[in-house]
Structure 1
Amino acid sequence: MRILATIFAALILAGSMPSISRAEAASELRLEEQFAGRTIARGHFRAINGVKRDFTVTLHGKWDGKTLALREDFVFDDGERDRKTWRFVRTGPGRYTGTREDVVGQTHVRIDANVARFSYLVYLDPGERKNKVRFHDTMTLNSDGTVLNTAWITKIGLPVAWTRVEFRRP
Protein backbone atom coordinates (compact mmCIF):
# COMPACT_ATOMS: atom_id res chain seq x y z
CA MET A 1 0.00 0.00 0.00
CA ARG A 2 2.85 2.39 0.84
CA ILE A 3 4.42 1.80 -2.59
CA LEU A 4 1.11 2.57 -4.30
CA ALA A 5 0.79 5.79 -2.30
CA THR A 6 4.32 6.75 -3.34
CA ILE A 7 3.62 6.07 -7.01
CA PHE A 8 0.33 8.00 -6.81
CA ALA A 9 2.07 10.98 -5.21
CA ALA A 10 4.78 10.87 -7.87
CA LEU A 11 2.15 10.97 -10.62
CA ILE A 12 0.53 14.00 -8.99
CA LEU A 13 3.93 15.71 -8.82
CA ALA A 14 4.60 14.84 -12.46
CA GLY A 15 1.44 16.67 -13.45
CA SER A 16 2.65 19.78 -11.64
CA MET A 17 6.12 19.83 -13.21
CA PRO A 18 6.55 22.75 -15.60
CA SER A 19 7.28 22.05 -19.24
CA ILE A 20 9.35 24.10 -21.64
CA SER A 21 8.12 24.76 -25.15
CA ARG A 22 10.51 24.74 -28.11
CA ALA A 23 9.75 28.45 -28.60
CA GLU A 24 11.17 29.19 -25.15
CA ALA A 25 14.35 27.26 -25.84
CA ALA A 26 17.65 28.87 -26.80
CA SER A 27 20.23 27.49 -29.19
CA GLU A 28 23.09 25.93 -27.19
CA LEU A 29 24.03 25.50 -23.55
CA ARG A 30 27.69 25.64 -22.48
CA LEU A 31 28.28 25.41 -18.73
CA GLU A 32 31.43 27.54 -18.85
CA GLU A 33 29.64 30.36 -20.68
CA GLN A 34 26.43 30.23 -18.68
CA PHE A 35 27.93 29.95 -15.19
CA ALA A 36 31.30 31.73 -15.29
CA GLY A 37 31.03 34.83 -13.10
CA ARG A 38 28.02 35.56 -10.88
CA THR A 39 24.57 33.99 -11.27
CA ILE A 40 21.50 34.30 -9.04
CA ALA A 41 18.80 31.65 -8.69
CA ARG A 42 15.52 31.06 -6.92
CA GLY A 43 14.13 27.61 -6.35
CA HIS A 44 12.03 25.23 -4.35
CA PHE A 45 12.12 21.64 -3.19
CA ARG A 46 8.99 19.52 -2.73
CA ALA A 47 8.83 16.00 -1.27
CA ILE A 48 6.02 13.47 -1.21
CA ASN A 49 6.11 13.49 2.62
CA GLY A 50 5.00 17.14 2.60
CA VAL A 51 8.40 18.79 3.11
CA LYS A 52 8.60 22.10 1.24
CA ARG A 53 11.71 24.28 1.13
CA ASP A 54 12.18 27.49 -0.83
CA PHE A 55 15.62 28.99 -1.33
CA THR A 56 17.82 31.46 -3.15
CA VAL A 57 21.30 30.61 -4.33
CA THR A 58 24.15 32.82 -5.44
CA LEU A 59 26.65 31.11 -7.72
CA HIS A 60 30.23 32.16 -8.39
CA GLY A 61 31.84 30.35 -11.33
CA LYS A 62 35.44 30.35 -12.46
CA TRP A 63 36.49 28.79 -15.78
CA ASP A 64 40.18 28.00 -16.31
CA GLY A 65 39.89 26.66 -19.85
CA LYS A 66 39.13 23.08 -18.81
CA THR A 67 37.40 23.12 -15.40
CA LEU A 68 34.44 25.16 -14.17
CA ALA A 69 34.58 25.61 -10.38
CA LEU A 70 31.05 26.59 -9.37
CA ARG A 71 30.45 27.66 -5.75
CA GLU A 72 26.78 27.66 -4.71
CA ASP A 73 25.77 29.67 -1.61
CA PHE A 74 22.26 28.65 -0.55
CA VAL A 75 19.97 30.62 1.76
CA PHE A 76 16.76 28.80 2.67
CA ASP A 77 13.62 30.70 3.60
CA ASP A 78 13.89 29.37 7.18
CA GLY A 79 17.33 31.05 7.49
CA GLU A 80 19.48 27.93 7.07
CA ARG A 81 22.57 28.41 4.91
CA ASP A 82 24.61 25.89 2.95
CA ARG A 83 27.54 25.95 0.54
CA LYS A 84 28.35 23.42 -2.16
CA THR A 85 31.03 23.53 -4.85
CA TRP A 86 30.76 21.72 -8.17
CA ARG A 87 33.81 21.05 -10.32
CA PHE A 88 32.87 20.35 -13.93
CA VAL A 89 35.67 19.17 -16.23
CA ARG A 90 34.98 19.50 -19.95
CA THR A 91 35.76 16.13 -21.54
CA GLY A 92 34.56 16.90 -25.07
CA PRO A 93 31.95 18.87 -27.01
CA GLY A 94 28.84 18.96 -24.83
CA ARG A 95 30.37 16.54 -22.31
CA TYR A 96 31.56 17.10 -18.75
CA THR A 97 32.29 15.10 -15.64
CA GLY A 98 31.29 16.67 -12.34
CA THR A 99 32.12 16.22 -8.69
CA ARG A 100 30.86 17.89 -5.52
CA GLU A 101 31.74 17.33 -1.87
CA ASP A 102 28.46 15.54 -1.07
CA VAL A 103 28.15 13.59 -4.34
CA VAL A 104 29.08 9.91 -4.33
CA GLY A 105 31.59 9.44 -7.14
CA GLN A 106 31.02 11.69 -10.14
CA THR A 107 28.32 12.60 -12.60
CA HIS A 108 28.51 12.63 -16.38
CA VAL A 109 26.85 15.64 -18.00
CA ARG A 110 25.56 15.32 -21.57
CA ILE A 111 24.40 18.43 -23.40
CA ASP A 112 22.27 18.25 -26.52
CA ALA A 113 21.69 21.76 -27.95
CA ASN A 114 20.08 23.73 -25.09
CA VAL A 115 19.45 20.83 -22.68
CA ALA A 116 21.88 19.28 -20.18
CA ARG A 117 21.10 16.02 -18.43
CA PHE A 118 22.94 14.39 -15.54
CA SER A 119 22.31 12.08 -12.61
CA TYR A 120 24.17 11.68 -9.31
CA LEU A 121 23.95 10.09 -5.86
CA VAL A 122 23.92 12.23 -2.71
CA TYR A 123 23.83 11.44 0.99
CA LEU A 124 21.34 13.88 2.49
CA ASP A 125 22.94 13.22 5.89
CA PRO A 126 26.66 13.09 5.01
CA GLY A 127 27.77 12.34 8.58
CA GLU A 128 25.56 9.30 9.06
CA ARG A 129 25.49 8.18 5.39
CA LYS A 130 22.08 6.51 5.76
CA ASN A 131 19.83 8.62 3.53
CA LYS A 132 21.14 8.17 -0.04
CA VAL A 133 19.08 9.56 -2.93
CA ARG A 134 19.62 10.05 -6.65
CA PHE A 135 19.06 13.36 -8.42
CA HIS A 136 18.05 13.27 -12.10
CA ASP A 137 18.70 16.82 -13.38
CA THR A 138 17.53 18.43 -16.60
CA MET A 139 18.80 21.96 -17.28
CA THR A 140 17.26 23.94 -20.14
CA LEU A 141 18.67 27.18 -21.52
CA ASN A 142 15.76 29.43 -22.53
CA SER A 143 15.81 32.07 -25.27
CA ASP A 144 15.77 34.86 -22.64
CA GLY A 145 19.09 33.60 -21.20
CA THR A 146 17.60 32.02 -18.07
CA VAL A 147 18.33 28.40 -17.23
CA LEU A 148 15.61 26.24 -15.73
CA ASN A 149 16.77 23.20 -13.77
CA THR A 150 14.22 20.58 -12.81
CA ALA A 151 15.25 17.45 -10.97
CA TRP A 152 13.52 14.31 -9.84
CA ILE A 153 14.88 12.84 -6.63
CA THR A 154 14.52 9.08 -6.24
CA LYS A 155 15.25 6.61 -3.47
CA ILE A 156 15.66 2.94 -4.33
CA GLY A 157 14.30 3.82 -7.75
CA LEU A 158 11.06 5.45 -6.56
CA PRO A 159 10.36 9.19 -6.94
CA VAL A 160 10.33 10.91 -3.55
CA ALA A 161 10.78 14.60 -4.38
CA TRP A 162 11.46 17.17 -7.07
CA THR A 163 13.10 20.53 -7.28
CA ARG A 164 12.88 23.48 -9.63
CA VAL A 165 15.50 26.24 -9.86
CA GLU A 166 15.62 29.21 -12.24
CA PHE A 167 19.04 30.79 -12.84
CA ARG A 168 19.47 34.41 -14.01
CA ARG A 169 22.48 36.56 -14.73
CA PRO A 170 22.35 39.79 -12.66
Structure 2
Amino acid sequence: MTRILFSLAVLGLLSPAPPASAADTMMETFFRGKTTATGSFSAINGVKRQFDVVLTGRVRGDTLTVREDFVYSGGERDRKTWRFVRTGPATYSGTREDVVGTTTLRVDGNTARFNYLVDLDPGPGKNIVRFFDKMVLADDGRTIANTASVWKYIFPVARVTVDFRR
Protein backbone atom coordinates (compact mmCIF):
# COMPACT_ATOMS: atom_id res chain seq x y z
CA MET A 1 0.00 0.00 0.00
CA THR A 2 2.82 2.41 0.87
CA ARG A 3 4.41 1.77 -2.51
CA ILE A 4 1.16 2.58 -4.30
CA LEU A 5 0.74 5.85 -2.37
CA PHE A 6 4.38 6.73 -3.04
CA SER A 7 3.96 5.99 -6.76
CA LEU A 8 0.78 8.07 -6.93
CA ALA A 9 2.50 10.93 -5.12
CA VAL A 10 5.47 10.79 -7.50
CA LEU A 11 3.10 10.86 -10.46
CA GLY A 12 1.37 13.88 -8.94
CA LEU A 13 -1.98 12.16 -8.60
CA LEU A 14 -2.24 12.84 -4.86
CA SER A 15 -1.02 16.40 -4.92
CA PRO A 16 -3.53 19.20 -4.43
CA ALA A 17 -5.04 20.91 -7.46
CA PRO A 18 -2.60 23.32 -9.05
CA PRO A 19 -3.10 27.02 -8.35
CA ALA A 20 -4.93 29.12 -10.92
CA SER A 21 -2.71 30.02 -13.83
CA ALA A 22 -1.61 33.59 -14.43
CA ALA A 23 -4.10 33.72 -17.31
CA ASP A 24 -6.96 32.76 -14.93
CA THR A 25 -5.95 35.40 -12.41
CA MET A 26 -5.44 38.12 -14.93
CA MET A 27 -8.33 37.53 -17.29
CA GLU A 28 -11.20 35.43 -15.93
CA THR A 29 -10.76 36.40 -12.28
CA PHE A 30 -9.88 40.08 -12.74
CA PHE A 31 -12.49 40.92 -15.37
CA ARG A 32 -15.37 38.80 -14.02
CA GLY A 33 -18.14 41.00 -12.61
CA LYS A 34 -17.82 44.80 -12.35
CA THR A 35 -14.58 46.67 -13.01
CA THR A 36 -14.04 50.41 -13.45
CA ALA A 37 -11.37 52.30 -15.34
CA THR A 38 -10.16 55.77 -16.20
CA GLY A 39 -8.15 56.52 -19.28
CA SER A 40 -6.83 58.99 -21.79
CA PHE A 41 -6.14 59.11 -25.51
CA SER A 42 -3.47 61.43 -26.96
CA ALA A 43 -2.87 61.72 -30.70
CA ILE A 44 0.05 63.36 -32.52
CA ASN A 45 -2.37 65.87 -34.09
CA GLY A 46 -3.10 67.30 -30.62
CA VAL A 47 -6.41 65.52 -30.00
CA LYS A 48 -6.74 64.50 -26.35
CA ARG A 49 -9.68 62.72 -24.75
CA GLN A 50 -10.29 61.57 -21.19
CA PHE A 51 -12.76 58.80 -20.45
CA ASP A 52 -14.27 56.63 -17.74
CA VAL A 53 -15.32 53.03 -18.33
CA VAL A 54 -17.55 50.61 -16.47
CA LEU A 55 -16.81 47.02 -17.47
CA THR A 56 -19.08 44.05 -16.93
CA GLY A 57 -17.47 40.66 -17.42
CA ARG A 58 -18.89 37.17 -17.47
CA VAL A 59 -17.34 33.76 -18.03
CA ARG A 60 -19.16 30.93 -19.76
CA GLY A 61 -17.08 27.88 -20.50
CA ASP A 62 -13.94 29.01 -22.33
CA THR A 63 -15.37 32.43 -23.23
CA LEU A 64 -14.81 35.66 -21.32
CA THR A 65 -17.18 38.43 -22.46
CA VAL A 66 -16.36 41.98 -21.30
CA ARG A 67 -18.82 44.79 -22.04
CA GLU A 68 -17.19 48.24 -21.88
CA ASP A 69 -19.44 51.26 -21.30
CA PHE A 70 -17.44 54.43 -22.05
CA VAL A 71 -18.24 58.01 -21.02
CA TYR A 72 -15.93 60.58 -22.60
CA SER A 73 -15.08 63.95 -21.04
CA GLY A 74 -17.32 65.72 -23.58
CA GLY A 75 -20.32 63.59 -22.53
CA GLU A 76 -20.25 61.20 -25.51
CA ARG A 77 -21.08 57.57 -24.67
CA ASP A 78 -20.00 54.39 -26.42
CA ARG A 79 -20.26 50.66 -25.82
CA LYS A 80 -17.88 47.96 -27.02
CA THR A 81 -17.87 44.25 -26.19
CA TRP A 82 -14.77 42.04 -26.18
CA ARG A 83 -15.16 38.28 -26.52
CA PHE A 84 -12.08 36.31 -25.56
CA VAL A 85 -12.04 32.55 -26.17
CA ARG A 86 -9.34 30.59 -24.36
CA THR A 87 -7.17 28.79 -26.92
CA GLY A 88 -4.45 27.54 -24.56
CA PRO A 89 -3.21 27.77 -20.96
CA ALA A 90 -2.25 31.44 -21.41
CA THR A 91 -3.67 32.44 -24.81
CA TYR A 92 -6.98 33.78 -26.06
CA SER A 93 -8.51 34.66 -29.40
CA GLY A 94 -10.37 37.98 -29.14
CA THR A 95 -12.95 39.88 -31.16
CA ARG A 96 -14.81 43.18 -30.77
CA GLU A 97 -17.30 45.05 -33.00
CA ASP A 98 -14.74 47.50 -34.39
CA VAL A 99 -11.81 45.08 -34.55
CA VAL A 100 -10.90 43.88 -38.03
CA GLY A 101 -10.45 40.11 -37.78
CA THR A 102 -9.24 38.68 -34.48
CA THR A 103 -6.43 39.23 -32.01
CA THR A 104 -4.36 36.76 -30.04
CA LEU A 105 -3.88 37.77 -26.40
CA ARG A 106 -0.91 36.17 -24.62
CA VAL A 107 -0.38 36.18 -20.86
CA ASP A 108 3.13 35.85 -19.44
CA GLY A 109 3.23 36.12 -15.64
CA ASN A 110 1.47 39.35 -14.68
CA THR A 111 1.57 40.80 -18.21
CA ALA A 112 -0.80 40.37 -21.16
CA ARG A 113 -0.01 41.58 -24.65
CA PHE A 114 -2.12 41.76 -27.78
CA ASN A 115 -2.37 43.80 -30.96
CA TYR A 116 -5.30 44.32 -33.27
CA LEU A 117 -6.61 46.38 -36.16
CA VAL A 118 -9.45 48.84 -35.51
CA ASP A 119 -11.59 50.69 -38.04
CA LEU A 120 -11.99 54.16 -36.47
CA ASP A 121 -14.56 55.25 -39.08
CA PRO A 122 -18.02 54.00 -38.10
CA GLY A 123 -19.36 54.85 -41.57
CA PRO A 124 -18.75 53.30 -44.97
CA GLY A 125 -15.18 54.67 -45.16
CA LYS A 126 -12.16 52.96 -43.67
CA ASN A 127 -9.66 54.40 -41.20
CA ILE A 128 -7.64 51.41 -40.05
CA VAL A 129 -5.08 51.70 -37.23
CA ARG A 130 -3.24 49.06 -35.21
CA PHE A 131 -3.27 49.03 -31.40
CA PHE A 132 -0.40 47.39 -29.48
CA ASP A 133 -1.70 46.79 -25.93
CA LYS A 134 0.24 45.81 -22.83
CA MET A 135 -1.66 45.14 -19.57
CA VAL A 136 0.24 44.70 -16.31
CA LEU A 137 -1.46 43.30 -13.21
CA ALA A 138 -0.22 44.98 -10.01
CA ASP A 139 1.10 42.82 -7.17
CA ASP A 140 -2.01 43.57 -5.09
CA GLY A 141 -4.19 41.95 -7.80
CA ARG A 142 -6.62 44.88 -7.67
CA THR A 143 -5.36 47.06 -10.52
CA ILE A 144 -4.19 46.64 -14.10
CA ALA A 145 -2.26 49.34 -15.95
CA ASN A 146 -2.92 49.21 -19.69
CA THR A 147 -0.79 51.15 -22.16
CA ALA A 148 -1.32 51.05 -25.90
CA SER A 149 0.49 52.60 -28.81
CA VAL A 150 -1.56 53.24 -31.94
CA TRP A 151 0.03 53.01 -35.38
CA LYS A 152 -1.13 54.00 -38.86
CA TYR A 153 0.91 52.18 -41.48
CA ILE A 154 4.48 52.46 -40.11
CA PHE A 155 3.95 55.58 -38.00
CA PRO A 156 2.99 55.89 -34.33
CA VAL A 157 -0.03 58.22 -34.19
CA ALA A 158 -1.44 58.00 -30.66
CA ARG A 159 -1.02 56.68 -27.12
CA VAL A 160 -3.70 55.31 -24.82
CA THR A 161 -3.46 54.67 -21.08
CA VAL A 162 -6.14 52.94 -19.03
CA ASP A 163 -6.08 52.09 -15.31
CA PHE A 164 -8.48 49.28 -14.36
CA ARG A 165 -9.64 48.86 -10.74
CA ARG A 166 -11.52 46.05 -9.00
What range is the shorter-chain TM-score in?
A: 0.7 to 0.9
2:93 aligns with 97
Residue 30 of structure 2 aligns to which amino acid in structure 1?
A: Q
Q: Is the 2:147–2:161 Cα contact (8 Å) retained in structure 1?
A: yes
Hey, what does 2:41 align to over in structure 1? 45
Aligned to 2:152: 155
Q: Which structure would you say has the larger RCO, counting Cα contacts within 8 Å and 6 or more residues apart?
A: 1
User: How much identity, in percent, do the aligned residues show?
Assistant: 60
Displacement of 1:38 in angstroms is: 0.3
Once the two structures are TM-superposed, the CA of residue 130 in structure 1 deviates from its matched residue by 2.2
| Matching residue's letter, 2:107 | I
Equivalent in 89, 103, 108 of residue 112 of structure 1? 108
**What residue is the counterpart of 1:64 in the other structure?**
60
Deviation at 1:128, TM superposition (A): 2.8
| CA offset digits 1:1-38 (Å, max 9, x no partner) | xxxxxxxxxxxxxxxxxxxxxxxxxx935311110100
Match of 1:30 in 2: 26
TM-score for the superposition, normalised by structure 1: 0.82
Match of 2:161 among 150, 159, 164: 164
1:66-106 deviations in whole A, cap 9, x for unaligned? 10010000000100000000000011111000000100000
- Paired AA for residue 137 in structure 2: L
The runs of at least 4 consecutive aligned structure 1 residues that moved more than 2 Å come to: 27-30
**3-state SS of 1:133 partner:** strand
For structure 2, which runs of at least 5 residues remain unmatched after alignment? 1-20
Instruction: Give the aligned length.
Output: 143
For the residues of structure 1 that align with 2:125 and 2:148, how far apart are their CA atoms? 21
Which ranges of structure 1 fall in alignment gaps of 5 or more residues? 1-26
Q: Alpha-carbon deviation of 1:51?
A: 0.3
**Separation in structure 2 between the aligned mates of residue 90 and residue 50 of structure 1, nearest angstrom:** 38
1: CA distance, partners of 2:76 / 2:68: 14
Alpha carbons 1:69, 1:88 under 8 Å: kept: yes
